[in-house]
Structure 1
Amino acid sequence: MRRLIGSGAPWEAQVGYSRAVRVGNVVQVAGTTATVNGAVVGVNDAYEQTRVALEIIRAALEDAGARLEDVVRTRMFVTDIARWEEVGRAHGEVFGDIRPAATMVQVAGLIDPAHLVEIEAEAIVS
């Protein structure tokens, strides 16, 4: 069974994606930025953007019947790898004891130039 989880963002239907998709016991969370009600939160603050993106991911996981403890992988896309410690600190505050496999890479840019980080997550519900 395939279950789609939306966030209510208007561009989900326009672009053709879901915030998260659950198939069986696997939940995939789409790339998530610190965008709330159409506005970027934490402009020029990589730590705050990471914190907010992870909170949005947590909510999507819960909507899918999963928890942060079920996350087995995260991928972090950052626009300035020199700010890795800010992103890593927020990630560590959430996943320090869970310790999923994680990747952080620098990208040339994200959809909104104010975005500093975008995060994907994969969870397996046991």
Structure 2
Amino acid sequence: MTEIRKVSTGSPWEPVVGYSRAVRVGNVVEVAGTTAMKDGEIVGKGDPYQQTVHILRTIEEALRQVGARLEDVVRTRMYVTDISQWEQIGKAHGEFFRNIRPAATMVEVKALIDPELLVEIEAQAIVREGGRG
């Protein structure tokens, strides 16, 4: 039977909504949609670049907690509330993934859960053989 490992950030919404920040099943890791929230506050209000950097650091930490790393990421999905800000969001994404180059999608959405959130990102990783366990 394959072990399932889950990461929680301690967010008050996780038990209410019923989700985990990341779930690893075998060598596959799925990271839930992640926004620029820290301790109930929005990081980088009004700044899509700063929000994206914070999000990707949060994703990196969630991956680490289940024995994966950014180099294992094969897909990201970026949900943005204003597609005209794509260059700032893309710049931050590129700083983390320039050499990794996962399949990536960026789509504009009507809104996120808080109007001051500008970006939400999901990630999928596949831990390679010989990778962390």
Per the shorter chain, which TM-score range? Answer: over 0.9
Correspondent of 1:110 among 100, 109, 112: 112
1:4 Cα shift?
1.1
Secondary structure at 1:88 match in 2 = helix
Instruction: Indicate the residue corresponding to 1:18 in structure 2.
Output: 20
Give the fraction of aligned pairs with identical amino acids, expressed as a percent.
Answer: 64
- Please identify runs of 4+ aligned residues in structure 1 that moved more than 6 A: none
1:2 Cα shift?
1.2
Number of paired residues?
126
Secondary structure at 1:52 match in 2 = helix
Amino acid at match of 2:25: V
Tell me, in whole angstroms, the C-alpha distance in 2 between the residues paired with 1:110 and 1:72. 24
Amino acid at match of 2:27: N
Secondary structure at 2:71 match in 1 = helix
Q: Does 1:98 align with 2:100?
A: yes
Residue deviations 1:9-65, cap 9 Å, x none? 111001000000000000000000010001000001000000000000000000010
Amino acid at match of 1:60: A
Larger Rg: 2
Q: Structure 1: any 5+ residue segments left out of the alignment?
A: none
Tell me, in whole angstroms, the C-alpha distance in 2 between the residues paired with 1:8 and 1:64. 16
Counting only pairs closer than 5 Å after superposition, residues 1-126 of structure 1 correspond to structure 2 as 1-126=3-128
TM-score, reference length from structure 1? 0.99
TM-score, reference length from structure 2? 0.94
Amino acid at match of 1:94: F
